[in-house]
Amino acid sequence: MKIHLTRHVNVNTYYKKLTTLIGILNFMIIQSIISVQRKCRERSKNPRALPIFNLRMLQKLRKN
């Protein structure tokens, strides 16, 4: 009986850890999706900003 009870406790803690991990992962995924959506909105508002930034980066890389 004691072994059975300890197993139950271990399973419960394991599931709690799993659910917390899944919750953290879901939160991270949602945050990344939100940030991507924001970037897309910024691009749609100012479509020329991104190529200019890329050109500047290329110039910096060439200098180095």
Domain count of the chain?
Answer: 1
Distance between CA atoms of 25 and 32, rounded to whole angstroms? 11
DSSP tally for the chain: helices H, then strands E? 2, 0
Please give the pLDDT value at position 51. 61
Residue that the structure tokens 């992962």 belong to:
25
By the 8 A CB rule, do 50 and 43 touch?
yes
Report the sign of the C-alpha dihedral through residues 16, 22, 26, 32, in that order.
Answer: positive
Please give the pLDDT value at position 4. 62
pLDDT, one tens digit per residue, over 17-59 is 889 999 999 999 888 888 887 877 776 666 555 565 667 767 7
**Which amino acid would we find at residue 16?**
K
In terms of residue numbers, what domain contains 56?
A: 2-63
